[in-house]
Amino acid sequence: MTQHRIALIPGDGIGAEVLPPACAVLDLVGKRHGLTFGYDEFDWSCARYLNEGAMMPADGLDRIRRHDAILLGAVGWPCVPDHVSLWGLLIPIRRLFRQYVNLRPITVLDGVPSPLRHAASGAVDFVVVRENVEGEYSEIGGRLNRGFPEEMAVQEAVFTRAGVSRVLDHAFRLAASRRGGITSATKSNGIVHTMPFWDELVAEYAARYPEVDCGQEHIDALVAKIVLDPGRFDVIVGSNLFGDILSDLAAAVAGSIGIAPAANLNPEGEFPSMFEPVHGSAPDIAGQGIANPIGAIWSASMMLDHLGHPEAAGEVMAAVRTVLADTAVRTPDLGGTASTDDFTRAVLDALP
Ligand code: NAI
Ligand code: MG
């Protein structure tokens, strides 16, 4: 028996509705593979912020530092500014636990039509690798002259050789293990310091991995190409900002933001990695029991893979694919009438 301790952070809104399905799937698939999961749940959320003035306690990260992984639902609620909830919880976890790779796989699944005419199931299967701890999302900068006509804001982007290299290393190795293609998202025509630096480091890695076919595209042209021909991509690597935008676009290409998963990886395993659906707390449907749990279940499958159980991870995704391809059971965002529970039961039934 292998025992894994998982920190659960349901967060806000549908975050609390999609994690129980993910745990139910983990528990069942674990039985076949000699795995047990011990869950410790933390109420870190906007609700906690309103009651106690902070998204998480001051020693929050110490409480989850020794867990094997973190499963997060979604964080954010209309009564708390989004930058407060994000910088009060998600960003500290990503940064202090050195989760410098954000991995977002995009697959058009059988039974989930893409809004794009040319995106047939089976033909679109790529991964966005986003730099997750530096780049454009930095605390460096400031505001001056608030309220005066000269009011101004400056925000510095931070690109370091160490930070860019380690995410490129991960992306090139991933490409080599897949179909051998990588596309770098850049904007070195307009952003004349950081982006040419990024391009130089990409060129160094391209020379180091001759077996990987490396191309680069300016971000504006790249988004157009993803819409016109999403099947041509294998691995796309981008900075924090570009990767963030690309992965939401890509989730939409796959048919619903409700199915997209994400992993925040500390590849060295010094700290726990964090797995979370791409979607937010969905205040418009929260409390109705109709949230699509696929993003959370797929994230749990990525967690299994990361913890060294690729077979169990594969069985989870095979079960999701079977339900979508062979049955009409699906949540309203995918055009169905099933509840979160109905869909989860169908996935549990489809597991071997
Ligand atoms: P959202 O992802 O919560 O919702 C966008 C739309 O997609 C809504 O119409 C929602 O009903 C639908 N949707 C999302 N997930 C779904 C699911 N699993 N099943 C069915 N439909 C689903 O994005 P929004 O509305 O921009 O943000 C709401 C809150 O969530 C904000 O406070 C935002 O900051 C936060 N947020 C948090 C994220 C995180 O925790 N990583 C990511 C994105 C947003
Ligand atoms: Mg985003």
Per-residue model confidence (pLDDT) at position 324: 96
Whether 137 is a known active-site residue: answer yes
Which of 191, 226, 253 represents a domain boundary (last residue)?
253
Q: Tell me the whole-structure pTM to 2 decimals.
A: 0.94
Q: What is the number of domains present in the chain?
A: 2
The confidence band for 121, taking pLDDT boundaries of 50, 70 and 90, is confident
Which residues lie across from 276 on neighbouring strands? Answer: 262
Per-residue model confidence (pLDDT) at position 55: 97
Mean pLDDT, all residues of the chain: 96
Task: Write out the residue range of the structural domain in which residue 148 sits.
Answer: 113-253
Which of 228, 253, 278 represents a domain boundary (last residue)?
253
The residue whose CA has the least distance to atom 12 of ligand 1 is 282
More confident residue, 308 or 123: 308
Mean pLDDT of 271-298: 97
Atom of ligand 1 nearest to the CA of 284: 11
Tell me whether residue 207 is in a domain: yes
Q: Are residues 91 and 154 in the same domain?
A: no
Mean pLDDT of 135-146: 95
The confidence band for 113, taking pLDDT boundaries of 50, 70 and 90, is confident
User: Is residue 122's pLDDT more than 90?
Assistant: no
Residue among 9, 94, 281 whose CB has most ligand 1 atoms within 8 A, to mutate: 281
d(CA 61, CA 234): 34
Q: Are residues 249 and 118 in the same domain?
A: yes
The confidence band for 289, taking pLDDT boundaries of 50, 70 and 90, is very high
Per-residue model confidence (pLDDT) at position 44: 97
Mean pLDDT of 286-300: 98
Name the DSSP letter for residue 230: G
CATH of the domain at 25: 3.40.718.10
Q: Are residues 235 and 284 in the same domain?
A: no
Is any atom of ligand 1 closer than 6 Å to the C-beta of 77? Answer: yes
The residue whose CA has the least distance to atom 25 of ligand 1 is 282
Q: Are residues 21 and 63 in the same domain?
A: yes
Q: Are residues 180 and 53 in the same domain?
A: no
Measured from the alpha carbon of residue 90, the closest ligand is 1
Tell me whether residue 106 is in a domain: no
- Vertex 102 angle, CA 101 and 106, to 5°: 135
Whether 220 is a known active-site residue: answer yes
Per-residue model confidence (pLDDT) at position 260: 94
Residues 137, 205, 305, 333: which is the catalytic one? 137
Strand order of the β-sheet with 213-218 is 35-41, 2-11, 69-74, 273-277, 261-265, 101-107, 125-131, 235-238, 181-186, 213-218
Which of 223, 253, 283 represents a domain boundary (last residue)?
253
User: Is residue 175's pLDDT more than 90?
Assistant: yes
pLDDT tens digits along 251-283: 888 888 999 999 999 999 999 999 999 999 999
In the chain, count of helices (H) and strands (E)? 12, 12
Per-residue model confidence (pLDDT) at position 117: 85
Q: Are residues 129 and 248 in the same domain?
A: yes
Q: Are residues 188 and 120 in the same domain?
A: yes
